[in-house]
Amino acid sequence: MSLTAKFIVIEGIDGAGTTTQVALLHRALLDKGFKVLTTTEPSTGEIGSFLRNVLASRDTSWAAEELALLFTADRLDHIKREIKPALKKYHYIICDRYYHSTLAYQSKANGKNLDWLISINQPALKPALTFFLDIKVATALLRMARANRAQELFENENQLKRIHRNYHRVINELQKRGEAIIVLDGEASPQEILTAELKIIGGIS
């Protein structure tokens, strides 16, 4: 069995359950005997830690372009520092968010800066497969309220509506460019989502 990892990304708006699905998929693949690494963005590196503080502080003074450049710099550091060294050590690398988040969160409502966002992320490693967990904004808000945690920068209704629309624009554009992006029903149960993911992953193995 080859130890050249398949790089899988799980995406979705805040509240979509990406972190839950990363954990479930990690465990399911481990149980099948695979070597699996999970990681996340923003990363645990210096730039990623700075970005986490920006998100937690809900600092609205940052322009979308500034944030996009910071997220992209963190991504390139993440790839160099963690993802590429892991490619020959694992069967699967599963990332909780990746450049799709930057394209959706930092894209203007009219999408006019999408080409620029795609261009600055051209050096990034392309995933073998991306899952987008599609949920209603109302569902996301309800889940976050139930979690009873402090809101971050983009976790309000107007922002989530914009980001949700942007994700679908991004997915459509990247699919046209040949990326394997699968939209899943994020309103389904975690186990149903996991079953769908495993079936699709089995098809690329």
Choosing among 3.10.20.340, 3.20.10.10, 3.40.50.300, 3.30.1370.60, the CATH entry for 6-204 is 3.40.50.300
Furthest C-alpha separation in the chain: 49
Q: What is the pLDDT of residue 1?
A: 39
Closest CA to 71 of 87, 93, 55, 95: 55
Residue 151, pLDDT > 50, answer: yes
Please tell me the predicted confidence (pLDDT) of residue 145.
84
Q: What is the pLDDT of residue 4?
A: 72
pLDDT greater than 90 at residue 29: yes
- Averaged pLDDT for residues 47-57: 93
CA atoms within 13 Å, Cβ hemisphere of 199: 8
Residues written for the chain:
205
pLDDT digits (tens, 9 = 90+) for 158-203: 889 999 999 999 999 999 999 999 999 999 999 999 999 999 998 7
Mean pLDDT (whole number) for 38-47: 97
CA-CA-CA-CA torsion for 193, 86, 127, 139, nearest 10 degrees?
30
Chain-wide mean pLDDT for the chain?
92
Q: What is the mean pLDDT of residues 121-150?
A: 91
Q: Enumerate the H helices of the chain as residue ranges.
A: 18-31, 46-57, 64-78, 84-86, 99-105, 114-120, 137-147, 157-176, 190-204
Enumerate the domain spans of the chain: 6-204
With a cut of 80, say whether residue 3 has pLDDT above it.
Answer: no
**pLDDT bracket for residue 152 (50, 70, 90):** low
Cβ contacts of residue 56 below 8 Å, gap of 6+?
A: 150, 152
CA triple 75-59-119, angle to 5 deg: 30
What digits encode the pLDDT tens for the residues 111-133?
789 999 999 999 999 999 999 99
For residue 50, the one-letter residue type is F
Question: Which tokens sit at 164?
Answer: 């949700």
Burial 7-40 (b: 16+ CB within 10 A, else e): bbbbbbbbbbbbeebbebbbebbeeeebebbbbb
